[in-house]
Structure 1
Amino acid sequence: MRRSLEGAFREFAEARAGQLFRSACLLTSGDTHLAEDLVQETLGRMYVVWGRRTTRLSNPAAYAQTVLIRSFLAHQRRRSAGERPSDELPEATAAGPGDATLRLTLLDALRQLPPKDRAVVVLRYWEDRSIEETADVLHLSSAAVRTRSTRALARLREQLGGSISEFAAH
């Protein structure tokens, strides 16, 4: 029984680690080291509850995303969360294929958002979650999610201005 649970968890972790890492990179504005830490923390917490037959694990992928978001927000509340060893983002090769300039511009714009607003943007527009699902994950009301989403998108538009269309045209 124990081996089958561990095997099932291993399969789950291998299948979801990439998606969790991509979401964590967006949340951390490209800080791949912190993103890796958040994914490991998420998978560690998932392992602890994996064997339990709870309703939370009826959809383990959604639960893992919730754990990731909450881990990120907890990290942001810590006093040392604002410390950064460098202003430079990792090389574009770490980000993977695609337009590096556009990625860096978007990550920089996301970095300027407060952590909860960034979490709302990632959940709503990257993870394609509904307002209600986002509210549940962040322990907010639906109205608060709508308000944060509207404000965050307005800030992103203000920061990016017309420059985003310049990058997207390439």
Structure 2
Amino acid sequence: MSSHAPPDDGFRAFVEQHWAPLVRIAYLLTGDRGYAEDLVQAALEKTHRKWGRVAKMEAPVAYVRRAMVNTATSWRRRRRVGEVPLLTTDGPSTDPYGSVEHRQQVVAALRTLPPRMRAVLVLRYFGDLTEAEIAETLGCSAGTVKSQASRGLERLRELITPAALERTRG
């Protein structure tokens, strides 16, 4: 073994195990595959700096998700104007949630929601977190999570109607 090799502290295995699910959540938060990968990378960079402490946590992935939500919110406030997405259909290559048109409509509808409401819905329905885990991730109460989820679902139902789905197919 080389004396220059970094110690195996489990970070690489953590990233390999959680990369794809984190990118999926980030994509739903940002609506853009490139930004999603950048977001996960930025959150993992922040996590790596504190890995000794984070690795000892009960759920280190929850720490990364919180870093992703906070970073996405920060990026949204700064509104990067230097990059322009080339494709509006940019997204994951596999589609486990139904038709491409439906997925695009869901992502577009999610992007219209306020950041915290969007984060609640993404973490709950795409990240499979409990209300308590979301509350911990976002630093709010379970009641706030419930109300944000309820309002968010109501708004999505208004935006994603059967007629609207037919328009995207036609």
TM-score range relative to shorter protein: 0.7 to 0.9
- 1:10-159, aligned counterparts within 5 Å? 10-29=12-31, 31-52=32-53, 57-78=57-78, 80=79, 85-86=84-85, 88-91=87-90, 94-98=91-95, 99-159=99-159
Encode CA deviations 1:55-111: one digit per residue, 9 max, x unaligned.
5x2322222222222222222233x258872585135xx421332111111111111
Question: 1:160 is aligned with what amino acid?
Answer: I
Output the aligned Cα RMSD.
2.6
Shift in CA distance, 53/142, structure 1 to aligned 2, threshold 3 Å: closer
Shift in CA distance, 157/114, structure 1 to aligned 2, threshold 3 Å: same
List runs of 5+ in structure 1 lacking aligned partners: none
Question: 1:3 is aligned with what amino acid?
Answer: P
The Cα of 1:4 is off from its aligned counterpart by 2.1
CA contact (8 A) 1:102 1:164 kept: no
Give the Cα–Cα distance (whole angstroms) in 1 for the partners of residues 160 and 83 of structure 2. Answer: 23
Give the Cα–Cα distance (whole angstroms) in 2 for the partners of residues 83 and 114 of structure 1. Answer: 23
How many aligned residue pairs are there?
160
Shift in CA distance, 125/83, structure 1 to aligned 2, threshold 3 Å: farther
CA contact (8 A) 2:43 2:64 kept: yes
Give the Cα–Cα distance (whole angstroms) in 1 for the partners of residues 82 and 58 of structure 2. Answer: 37
TM-score by length of 2: 0.81
TM-score by length of 1: 0.81
List runs of 5+ in structure 2 lacking aligned partners: none
Encode CA deviations 1:18-60: one digit per residue, 9 max, x unaligned.
111111001112x1111111111111011111123775x2322
**Percent identity at matched positions?**
33
The Cα of 1:156 is off from its aligned counterpart by 0.2
Shift in CA distance, 144/40, structure 1 to aligned 2, threshold 3 Å: same
Shift in CA distance, 156/130, structure 1 to aligned 2, threshold 3 Å: same
Encode CA deviations 1:111-162: one digit per residue, 9 max, x unaligned.
1111111000011111121212211211222221111111100000000122
